[in-house]
Structure 1
Amino acid sequence: MVMSFNFKEMNKKKTLIGLGLGQILSLLCTSNAFTSSELARKGINVPTSQSFLGYMLLVIVYGGIMLYRRPTIKAKWYHYLLLALVEVEANFLVVKANQYTSLTSIMLLDCWAIPCVLVLTWLFLKTKYRLMKIIGVVICIIGVVMVVFSDVHAGSQAGGSNPIKGDFLVLAGTTLYAISNTSEEFLVKNADTVELLTFLGFFGAIISVIQIVIFEQGELKAIHWSADIVFPFLRFACTVFLFCTLLPVVLKTNGTAMFTLSLLTSDMWAVLIRIFAYHEKVDWLYYLAFATTAIGLIIYSMKEKDEEEQRKLFDEEDGESETLGQSLIVASTGTLTKGF
């Protein structure tokens, strides 16, 4: 079958919004990474405490909106509890992996989230992925692999203290991310966004407090608090709040797979920041990798013409069947009326 594209689909507001917001979310992830690195350079390693403030912002803002509206709860409370648990632990595992394995390994293993998302959305959300969407995914992954090769080529790879342990932490974390994002897409399409963000913040804050008491209490007591430490915490909290606020929009309009692919550019945005903000030199492969990933995202966001034609044909057949059924009902009613 010959494939052709309907390029007019690219002009649709939904597609453009999805591409734009996806890159904003990617930049927010990059900002979080730089903030965590900044705190780590100061000897502060409290990833759960950083996320706690973001969850509190969600509770204050969206909880206030929810109390004002007093809506009927559309989803079970324990669904939000499980979602918050998975998300908090995913954040913890991936950040923890930085202590054991190299940045190159983390970047490569992050791609594991893509097949996980494709399988989960296919199984539970009944999302269908046609040939060109698969091609778009493959091109995006090639772009990330090129980033890894550029790190190796530039000699920037560090082994890490325990690479095997770190790699398993990344795989576990990315799998949980895939589960979390797929679950959030289901909830945002079947429940209420304000309700989702309120309960995500509420249960996320509770779980974070428990984890802080268990793992980070001593670390927090040892911190000498000052403006240059408080400001990164506040910046991280605002970034988490913005990320959680924009994420449901992307999931609702473009789906989990598109969001996951968009995050692949976060490492490349970090490179651009290093170039223009810190005036660092990077390998030329980074630019090619960024362009490759961008092309993959564009191809994934396109709709195939034959897919549209099949949908229209199905709608027409469905309409004809409905018209035929109505005609039969009218004819039967007329016959009964005449007989009566």
Structure 2
Amino acid sequence: MRQPASVEAASSNFNNQRNVAKANTSYPNLAESLSAHSEETPLVPVDSTVTKKDLFAYFVTKDFWVILFLGQVLAILNTSTSTFTSLLALEGTSIPAFQTFFSYAALNLVFTPLTIFKYGFNGWIRIIRQDGWKYILFATFDVEGNYFVILAYRYTTILSAQLINFWAIAIVVATSFFILHVRYHSMQILGILICIGGMGILIGSDHITGSNGEQAVDAVKGDMFALLSATFYGFSNVVEEYFVTKRPVYEVLGQLAFWATIINGIQACVFDRSSFETATWNGQVAGYLIGYTLCLSLFYSTAPLIYRLASASFMNISMLTGNFWGVIIGVHVLHLHVHWMYPIAFVLIMLGHFVYYLGRPVLGEARKPWLGRNQERGISGIFTAKRRIEQANATRHDEINY
């Protein structure tokens, strides 16, 4: 017997709420689908109630302090790899391509077996068939970025190379804007400019103290290499941010390491053969290589987290403090001296980090425009906005149903 319209509607609403509550605990994606059709408990972003007047909303969240910390960890790791490279050069060992090969190989040994374990061997082969060309392109960007930056320092001054590396920030911002449809607000642009101003003070202090290196051997060639490196790095950062928000981190790092090991290995055999034969090999060199490999591997393993929680743009401005940390490390390792302008520059760069997030909602840059309003086209993983939205709505549904 058909129920009266009012009774039927009440029954339908009750069954819908019951299904949502059940799906919340067992099937998060199903809960998202059901709640999207519920008039009483629609799926909404966590920060949808934050208005433009909430200028400091993001600063009181744990996420902001996490990305601030992660950004400096990455800057220190990146500077540490440069320090180990300098120590190797002092020992008479300069093998730019082969030196990075160990890091790619180490990542490959960890993340490729993990990917095969998660997907099965046939699933791993399916990834290669469907998306292998994309990961090969990504790996090529990364390998060449690492290679050309070392070549740049051989031919040009450190000052020139550092100035051109600002091009990486421009590449990241432009690529994110035109390809990924990221829209930057005025405070983000101002924050980037303040960070660049702080970096300018660092470079100026290096120039005053004569810490920029000797006269360029071939400035034009060196500057072109630096420009290529910054371009490759910029593309690599944006591509990685896109991948890690749509795929598991172990898949992305596994594919990057797998293809980069092959590409970098071939490049090392072609370009580093003579350098390898004339290099110095002793216990200290082995220790420096191990230190370089560990720091670079940790860098690659940590970067996806900041790409998910923040962005490639924020990661790049975080790298601008690297010179400051480099001097701090150099004071103890290479016996360098800290110029009085360094602390001022560091504070200015960090101020830019805060300005960058003025007026941001509680999800900050974790919500990616290419994943949809509720991040339905993304993966629900650690530090992703999709997981945060699902968890917040699950709590909301439980409170309403209770």
TM-score normalised according to structure 2 size: 0.72
For 1:1-340, what aligned pairs fall within 5 Å after superposition?
Answer: 6-70=55-119, 72=123, 76-157=131-212, 158-304=214-360
Q: Percent identity?
A: 29
Task: Tell me if structure 2 keeps the 8 A contact 1:108–1:144.
Answer: no
Report the RMSD for the aligned CA atoms in angstroms: 2.1
Unaligned runs of 5+ in 1: 316-340
Query: Could you say which structure has the greater relative contact order, defined with CA pairs below 8 angstroms and 6 or more residues apart?
Result: 1
Residue type at the aligned position of 1:179: F
Residue type at the aligned position of 1:102: T
1:304 CA displacement: 4.3
Task: Tell me if structure 1 keeps the 8 A contact 2:164–2:223.
Answer: yes
Residue type at the aligned position of 2:249: T
Q: Distance in 2 between matches of 1:58 and 1:78?
A: 19
1:11 CA displacement: 2.2
Runs of 4 or more, structure 1, over 4 Å off, are: 71-75, 276-279
Residue type at the aligned position of 2:71: G
1:5 CA displacement: 5.1
Q: Distance in 1 between matches of 2:81 and 2:198?
A: 22
1:224 CA displacement: 4.3
1:94 CA displacement: 0.5
Superposed CA deviations along residues 32-54 of structure 1, whole A, max 9, x for unmatched, are: 00011111112211111111111
Q: Distance in 2 between matches of 1:243 and 1:164?
A: 31
Task: Tell me if structure 1 keeps the 8 A contact 2:199–2:320.
Answer: yes
Task: Tell me if structure 2 keeps the 8 A contact 1:99–1:166.
Answer: yes
1:216 CA displacement: 0.6
Q: Distance in 2 between matches of 1:48 and 1:143?
A: 31
Superposed CA deviations along residues 201-258 of structure 1, whole A, max 9, x for unmatched, are: 1111101111011111222133342211111111111112111110111111101100
Residue type at the aligned position of 2:100: S
Task: Tell me if structure 2 keeps the 8 A contact 1:106–1:170.
Answer: yes
Match of 1:335 in 2: none
Task: Tell me if structure 2 keeps the 8 A contact 1:258–1:301.
Answer: no
Residue type at the aligned position of 1:221: E
Match of 2:40 in 1: none
Task: Tell me if structure 2 keeps the 8 A contact 1:4–1:304.
Answer: no
Task: Tell me if structure 2 keeps the 8 A contact 1:113–1:177.
Answer: yes
Structure with the higher helix share, 1 or 2 = 1
Aligned positions, number: 307
TM-score normalised according to structure 1 size: 0.85
Q: Distance in 1 between matches of 2:321 and 2:231?
A: 19
Structure 1 residues 146 and 5 mapped into 2: Cα distance closer, same or farther (>3 Å)? farther
Task: Tell me if structure 2 keeps the 8 A contact 1:110–1:174.
Answer: yes
Structure 1 counterpart SS, 2:272: helix
Unaligned runs of 5+ in 2: 1-51, 368-372, 374-402
